[in-house]
């Protein structure tokens, strides 16, 4: 429930604080006093469009603060908990909105700054405002399906979400098929390139590190003659000598001499052993050199074969990577890509099959949604008819007309339009074409009465709902708002004495001039003051004993409800 409203620098209001109470509260005052300004201020406080034009002339910013008692409203408590603003038991909820001439909006919840979307999500569960622009939405057939779905509650919300999800999935799959079809030629070209590259690499049968091995082999083959000459020279020096004795023979003589010395002087033994060991090592080295010479063979064919292999590897490196490891990694990559491209048609077929299934599921779910809507429409028809009878429209016939959509949409397969016949014997016609302003107001009030019971919004605000209504209809509207006020907080701006007389609370909006500037003020009226205010409304300004007496009679009408 809205318990207090603080307004600063909005239009004719400099500073204004209004206490509000449970039940049915009426706001009255002369034309231009600022009644609708207060409703606009509440709109700002709950996240509706905050225009810089609202800011009082000569000021650079405006502020509205709305204080609520949340109570046990589960829907509001859930939203507050999800947003991180759940108040402690008994603690109030304060919504603050600041408008600045620069266009910047500052929103706060219990003093903490939040973005406008979070602010609106919290506020929309607290207050519902009905004014002339809401009346226009009732006349828009495009809005009728939203009102019906709102009436249908959780069942329709769940089905509508499923339909929307399936619609989006259908659109995604259709887009995917269209995209892949448009890229088919390009993908075919890519597949041909990948096939060629893969064949070229696989034909080479590369092995990691083979390029290094072939470089070593090439080096040996290219220097076969030089290697033979050098190794043979080394062997001859060791074993054959030439102009001089072989090295091994000379070393053998040296060892024999040292052995003879050792027989006389044992101290030479270590040297003798070293020389003897060296002799054995040289003999072994000579044998190894001999074997190496036997392996050296000039093989021009093998050299050409090795060079050709290395040239092929270098060509692949120029195209596909700086090393064999990188070439093989690229091969794996294009093999994977080629598999995807090769499976392109299969994927397209699978996507098309999935699309058929999703479309079928969409049609089934949309059909269930349509059936649920029709069931809700039958219940809505009965409730709206009953409410309108209560509002002095006893002969009204109300229908919800369904037409199949030619193209499926996110909302399903239904076109919905409200049809009405206000008078007996008249055919049903679209709501927008035949109703008067007073009838629209009563129909909207009927919708608000029904929907308020469903959405549990605790505060309903009506801005001049009595427009175009007179006589017994006004009494019916007054009674309806009074009865709604038993379960909800109802606030109504009115020009009607009959409606004003039904209020549990009465606030008078007045205009005064202070220091050359016009200001709006609000006064909570006592019972004698209410009599005077309603008498003024009856007489158009000139109060007489007769109008006072009539005002007193009007104030007693609550007792009849």
| 33 occurs within a structural domain | yes
d(CA 233, CA 231) in angstroms, rounded, equals: 5
| 530 occurs within a structural domain | yes
d(CA 233, CA 240) in angstroms, rounded, equals: 10
- CATH assignment at residue 536: 3.40.50.300
Count of the separate structural domains present in the chain: 1
Q: Which two tokens stand for residue 197?
A: 């590259």
Residue 233: closest CA among 246, 222, 214? 246
Q: Which long-range contacts (CB under 8 A, 24 or more apart) does 470-479 make?
A: 470/438, 472/392, 473/391, 473/392, 473/393, 473/438, 473/442, 474/498, 474/499, 475/392, 475/557, 476/390, 476/391, 476/392, 476/442, 477/391, 477/441, 477/442, 477/445, 478/502, 478/557, 479/390, 479/561
| 307 occurs within a structural domain | no
| 62 occurs within a structural domain | yes
Mind listing the pLDDT tens digit of every residue in the chain (561 residues)? 899 999 999 988 889 999 999 999 999 988 777 788 888 899 889 888 877 888 888 888 999 999 998 877 777 788 888 888 887 777 889 999 999 988 778 999 998 898 888 888 888 888 888 765 555 667 778 888 988 998 898 899 899 999 999 999 999 998 888 877 666 677 778 888 888 988 898 888 888 888 889 888 888 888 888 888 888 888 888 877 667 788 888 888 898 998 999 988 899 999 999 999 998 998 898 898 888 888 888 788 888 888 888 898 899 999 988 889 999 998 988 888 887 777 676 777 888 999 999 999 999 999 999 999 999 999 999 998 988 888 888 888 999 999 999 899 999 999 999 998 888 888 898 887 766 667 777 787 887 778 766 666 788 888 877 776 777 778 888 888 888 888 889 999 988 898 999 999 999 998 888 887 878 889 999 999 999 999 998 887 678 889 999 999 988 877 666
d(CA 496, CA 467) in angstroms, rounded, equals: 9
| 91 occurs within a structural domain | yes
| 27 occurs within a structural domain | yes
Domain of 110 in residue numbering reads as 1-126+457-561
Contact in structure between 55 and 15 (CB atoms under 8 Å): no
| 181 occurs within a structural domain | no
| CA 191 to centroid of chain Cα atoms | 37
Contact in structure between 18 and 5 (CB atoms under 8 Å): yes
| 540 occurs within a structural domain | yes
Classify strands 517-524 and 24-28 as parallel, antiparallel or unpaired: unpaired
């Amino acid at each position: 429930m809205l318990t207090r409203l603080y307004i600063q620098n909005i239009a004719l209001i400099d500073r204004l604080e209004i206490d509000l109470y449970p039940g049915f509260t009426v706001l009255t005052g002369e034309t231009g006093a600022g009644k609708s300004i207060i409703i606009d201020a509440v709109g700002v406080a709950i996240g509706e469009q905050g225009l810089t034009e609202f800011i009082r002339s000569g000021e650079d910013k405006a502020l509205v603060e709305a204080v609520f008692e949340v109570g046990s409203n589960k829907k509001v408590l859930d939203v507050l908990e999800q947003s991180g603003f759940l108040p402690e038991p008994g603690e109030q909820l304060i919504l603050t909105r600041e408008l600045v001439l620069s266009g910047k909006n500052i929103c706060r919840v219990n003093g903490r700054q939040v973005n406008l979307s979070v602010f609106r999500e919290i506020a929309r569960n607290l207050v519902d405002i009905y004014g002339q622009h809401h009346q226009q939405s009732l006349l828009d057939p495009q809005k009728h399906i939203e009102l019906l779905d709102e009436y249908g509650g959780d069942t329709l919300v769940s089905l509508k979400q499923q339909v929307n999800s399936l619609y989006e999935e259908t659109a995604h799959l259709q887009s995917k098929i269209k995209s892949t079809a448009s890229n088919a030629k390009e993908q075919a070209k890519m597949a041909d390139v990948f096939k060629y590259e893969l064949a070229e690499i696989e034909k080479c049968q590369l092995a990691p590190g083979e390029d290094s091995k072939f470089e070593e082999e090439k080096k040996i083959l290219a220097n076969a003659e030089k290697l033979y000459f050098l190794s043979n020279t080394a062997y001859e020096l060791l074993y054959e000598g030439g102009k001089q004795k072989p090295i091994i023979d000379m070393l053998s003589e040296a060892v024999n001499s040292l052995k003879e010395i050792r027989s006389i002087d044992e101290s030479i033994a270590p040297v003798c052993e070293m020389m003897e060991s060296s002799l054995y090592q040289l003999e072994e080295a000579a044998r190894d050199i001999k074997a190496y010479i036997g392996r050296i063979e000039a093989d021009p064919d093998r050299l050409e074969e090795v060079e050709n292999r290395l040239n092929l590897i270098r060509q692949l490196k120029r195209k596909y990577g700086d090393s064999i490891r990188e070439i093989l990694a690229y091969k794996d990559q294009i093999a994977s890509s080629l598999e995807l491209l090769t499976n392109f048609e299969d994927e397209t077929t699978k996507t098309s099959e999935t699309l058929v299934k999703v479309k079928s599921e969409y049609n089934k779910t949309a059909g269930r949604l349509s059936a649920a809507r029709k069931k809700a429409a039958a219940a809505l028809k009965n409730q709206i008819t009953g409410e309108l009878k209560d509002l002095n429209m006893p002969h009204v016939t109300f229908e919800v007309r369904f037409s199949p959509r030619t193209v499926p949409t996110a909302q399903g397969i239904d076109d919905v339009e409200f049809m009405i016949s206000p008078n007996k014997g008249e055919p049903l016609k679209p709501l927008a074409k035949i109703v008067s302003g007073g009838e629209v107001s009563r129909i909207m009030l009927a919708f608000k009465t029904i929907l308020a019971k469903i959405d549990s919004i605790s505060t309903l605000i009506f801005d001049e709902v009595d427009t175009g209504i007179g006589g017994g209809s006004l009494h019916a509207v007054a009674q309806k708002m009074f009865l709604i006020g038993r379960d909800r907080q109802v606030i109504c701006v009115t020009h009607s004495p009959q409606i004003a007389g039904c209020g549990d609370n009465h606030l008078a909006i007045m205009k005064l001039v202070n220091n050359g500037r016009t200001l709006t003020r609000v006064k909570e009226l006592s019972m004698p003051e209410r009599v005077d205010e309603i008498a003024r409304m009856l007489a158009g300004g000139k109060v007489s004993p007769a109008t006072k007496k009539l005002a007193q009679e009007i104030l007693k009408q609550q007792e009849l409800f």
